[in-house]
Structures are given as C-alpha cells and as structure tokens.
C-alpha cells in the first residue's frame, strides 16, 4: 500500500488497469464475427474456368483457404453437413503488359488472378453471398513467367485469402 500511496496510484486505478489487462487478453481485436450457431465449414475443391493456370494451383488454393479459416477462426472443418460452404472458382488468369517502353514491348507485365467465391450459409440463407476477388503482381518483362509464376501466385493468393476471410468473417 505504501508503494501505491507514494506513486499516486489508488486502488481504483489499479483495479481499472487490471480489468483492462484481463479483458485485452480475452478479446481478439481481429473483429471476427461468426454467429454462435455456426461451427463448421467446408471448402469445395477449386474449379477453374481460366486457361494456362498451373495444374497444381486449384488444389493448393483450396487447401490454403481451409487452413486460413481453420487457423484464424473457431470453425471446424467437416465434409458432412457444414454450416458454411465455400465454392471457389478461378475466373481469370492472365498476363497484361502495363508499362510500355519505346518500341513494341512492355517494361513491366502484370499477372492478374480473379477468383469467384460463393459462400453458402446453411444456417441462414439471407447471409449467402457470391463475389469476385481480384489481385495482381507485377514482374519485369525480361523475366520468363514460368520462372516467377509460383512466387507471384503465392503473393496474389495471400492477398486473395485475406480478402475472402475478411469478407466472410469481419463483415467487410
């Protein structure tokens, strides 16, 4: 008590700091909003409607989406009777020249990826949604797409997964 008196802190102030410290340990500032009656999810294998997409991408995207939801929410993955069902479809995979330089070639190319996500809420049909998510990554025209493609897709996928998660669980 002598310490509290000498420092000018009183019991009420210390109690307030204690409550703030306790609550901050219990509350996640991520802002995730999942109804209590929703506890499971399922991710359909990613379909593709885009040409020239690497064959391994659809499966890895589905797995990454499962892991993102599993690791960053309280939902459990299930293949039978899920509360939420995610249906990803790659709509577009293309390279676009974006920075012309003298002559006929571009200095920078852009790899663009568009994925449509349909989220079916089996607990509340009013919360169903479907949305396209698009991201890109730029690379030098002197680089061969095949040599940088995996790294570019990793960067793009991380951005897409974050947007999909935010749309699904933070009312973004």
Confidence at residue 6, expressed as pLDDT on a 0 to 100 scale = 53
Which pLDDT tens digit goes with each residue over 113-152?
999 999 999 999 999 999 999 999 999 989 999 999 999 9
CB 91, CB 114: distance < 8 Å: yes
Confidence at residue 26, expressed as pLDDT on a 0 to 100 scale = 37
| Pair 57, 118 in one domain | yes
| Pair 17, 75 in one domain | no
| Pair 81, 96 in one domain | yes
Check residues 100 and 86 and name the one with the higher pLDDT. Answer: 86
| Pair 72, 123 in one domain | yes
Sign of CA dihedral 114, 74, 78, 34: negative
Residue 109 sits in a domain of what CATH number?
3.30.160.150
d(CA 162, CA 168): 10
| Pair 112, 50 in one domain | yes
pLDDT > 70: what percent of the chain?
80
Total number of domains in the chain:
2
Q: 64: closest CA among 152, 164, 171?
A: 164
Which pLDDT tens digit goes with each residue over 25-65?
333 445 788 999 999 999 999 999 998 899 999 999 999 99
Confidence at residue 27, expressed as pLDDT on a 0 to 100 scale = 36
d(CA 30, CA 86): 21
Domain that holds residue 14: 1-30
Q: Is residue 15 scored above 60 in pLDDT?
A: no
């Amino acid at each position: 008590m002598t310490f509290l008196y000498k420092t000018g802190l009183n019991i009420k102030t210390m109690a307030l700091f204690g409550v703030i410290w306790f609550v901050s340990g219990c509350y996640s500032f991520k802002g995730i909003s999942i109804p209590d009656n929703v506890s499971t999810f399922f991710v359909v294998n990613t379909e593709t409607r885009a040409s020239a997409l690497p064959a391994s991408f659809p499966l890895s995207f589905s797995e990454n989406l499962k892991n993102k939801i599993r690791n960053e929410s309280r939902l459990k993955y299930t293949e039978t009777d899920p509360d939420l069902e995610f249906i990803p479809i790659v709509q577009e995979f293309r390279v676009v020249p974006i920075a012309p330089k003298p002559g006929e070639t571009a200095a920078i190319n852009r790899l663009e990826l568009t994925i449509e996500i349909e989220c079916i809420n089996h607990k509340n049909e009013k919360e169903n949604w479907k949305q396209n998510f698009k991201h890109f990554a730029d690379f030098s025209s002197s680089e061969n797409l095949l040599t940088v493609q995996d790294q570019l897709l990793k960067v793009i996928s991380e951005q897409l997964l974050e947007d999909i998660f935010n749309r699904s669980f933070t009312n973004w």
